């Protein structure tokens, strides 16, 4: 069976903890991320955005419901197969970069390839390094970089193995507007020129306007979707989330 869906979750529920102290981070979310689409996920802090991304990417498991990458139901995979799927088909930009401190910038970017014992495409890697503007920092370690530079390393690393789908958790959160535009441009080009699928969490309406569609979460539920977003439309929608003072 073929699919046009790069990733999806169906009736996704995620409960952290148990009993009275349990937190229902996802409360029945169904959403699909079609191949070749750039989707932004927005919503207040604590609304479940990172949890949704982690579960959709196979980094965490759902309490109930299903998560698929392509045609693969993640719950059917043993640990080894899940590791292979994450390595070969998914890229992830963590909210807290997760760079390896003892590796240089170049080594961090190549890490998914090196773990896979793969050569990778040298032209692709070189282009990535230029797009994120890190050519003159390749031999530095993360501790020698600014927060924005570390974030750009994390974005380049997510794309290094040319995965089908990249999940990026606030990839522009620590960038100045120019670096942010460059990263958003990279994400947009990956979708439009190479039919990759990008799912990005952001709090920034300007960043969300780069996406094809915005999905809004509140209290662990999907509350709205918007196609062809503009910064103004997104800002108007976000105002509805604000607690009246």
Ligand X SMILES: Nc1ncnc2c1ncn2[C@@H]1O[C@H](COP(=O)(O)OP(=O)(O)OP(=O)(O)O)[C@@H](O)[C@H]1O
User: Minimum Å distance from CB 203 to Mg ion?
Assistant: 9
Is the CB of residue 60 less than 8 Å from the CB of residue 54? yes
| Residues engaged in binding ligand X (CB under 6 A) | 16-17, 23, 25, 43, 45-51, 95
State the minimum distance, in angstroms, from the CB of residue 49 to Mg ion: 5
Q: Give every CB contact of residue 209 below 8 A, 6+ residues apart in sequence.
A: 229, 230, 231, 234
Piece of 46-54, 67-75, 209-217, 221-229 that binds Mg ion (CB under 5 A): 46-54
All residues at 6 or more sequence positions from 213 whose CB lies less than 8 Å from its CB, including other chains: 37, 38, 39, 40, 225, 226, 227, 228, 229
HSE (side-chain half, CA atoms, 13 Å) at 155: 35
Q: Would you say 39 or 50 has its CB closer to Mg ion? A: 50
Per CB under 5 A, the segment of 7-15, 49-57, 96-104, 110-118 that binds Mg ion is 49-57
Q: Which of residues 190-229 bind Mg ion (CB under 5 A)?
A: none
- Nearest to Mg ion of 50, 149 (CB atom): 50
Please identify which residue in 50, 108, 172, 197 interacts with Mg ion, judged by CB under 5 A.
Answer: 50
User: Rounded to the nearest whole angstrom, what is the least distance from the CB of residue 245 to Mg ion in the complex?
Assistant: 24
Give SS3 for 12. Answer: strand
What's the min distance (Å) between Cβ of 14 and ligand X? 8
Q: What percent helix, strand, coil does the chain show, rounded to 5?
A: 40, 25, 35
Residue indicated by tokens 């692709």: 124
Residue 100 region, left (φ>0) first, then alpha (ψ -120 to 50), else beta? beta
Shortest CB 25 distance to ligand X, Å: 3
Residue 115: CA atoms inside 13 Å, Cβ hemisphere, count?
A: 14
Residue closer to ligand X (CB basis): 95 or 108: 95
Nearer to ligand X, 25 or 125 (CB): 25
CA 95 to CA 16: how far, in whole Å?
19
Tokens of 22: 């349990």
Count of chain residues binding Mg ion (CB under 5 A): 1
Identify which of residues 51 and 197 has a Cβ nearer to ligand X in the complex: 51
Residue 45 interacting partner from Mg ion, ligand X, none (CB closer than 5 to 8 Å by kind) = ligand X
- Among Mg ion, ligand X, none, partner that 51 touches (CB below 5 to 8 angstroms by kind): ligand X
Binding residues (CB under 5 A) for Mg ion: these are 50
């Amino acid at each position: 069976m073929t699919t046009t869906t790069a990733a999806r979750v169906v009736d996704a529920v995620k409960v952290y903890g148990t009993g009275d102290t349990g937190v229902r981070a996802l409360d029945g979310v169904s959403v699909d991320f079609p191949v070749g689409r750039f989707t932004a996920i927005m919503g207040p802090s604590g609304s479940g955005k990172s949890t949704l991304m982690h579960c959709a990417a196979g980094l965490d498991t759902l309490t109930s419901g299903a998560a698929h990458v392509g045609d693969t139901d993640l719950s059917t995979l043993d640990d080894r197969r899940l590791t292979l799927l994450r390595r070969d088909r998914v890229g992830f930009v963590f909210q807290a970069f997760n760079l390896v401190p003892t590796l240089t910038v170049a080594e961090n970017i190549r890490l998914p390839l090196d773990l896979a014992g793969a050569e990778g495409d040298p032209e692709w890697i070189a282009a990535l390094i230029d797009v994120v503007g890190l050519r003159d920092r390749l031999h530095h370690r993360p501790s020698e970089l600014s927060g924005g530079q570390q974030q750009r390393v994390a974005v380049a690393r997510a794309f290094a193995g040319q995965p089908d789908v990249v999940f990026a958790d606030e990839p522009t959160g620590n960038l100045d507007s120019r670096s942010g535009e460059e990263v958003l441009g990279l994400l947009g080009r990956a979708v439009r020129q190479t039919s990759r699928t990008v799912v990005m969490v952001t709090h920034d309406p300007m960043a969300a306007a780069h996406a094809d569609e915005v999905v809004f979460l509140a209290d662990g539920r999907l509350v709205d979707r918007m196609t062809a977003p503009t910064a103004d439309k997104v800002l108007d929608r976000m105002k509805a989330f604000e607690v009246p003072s």
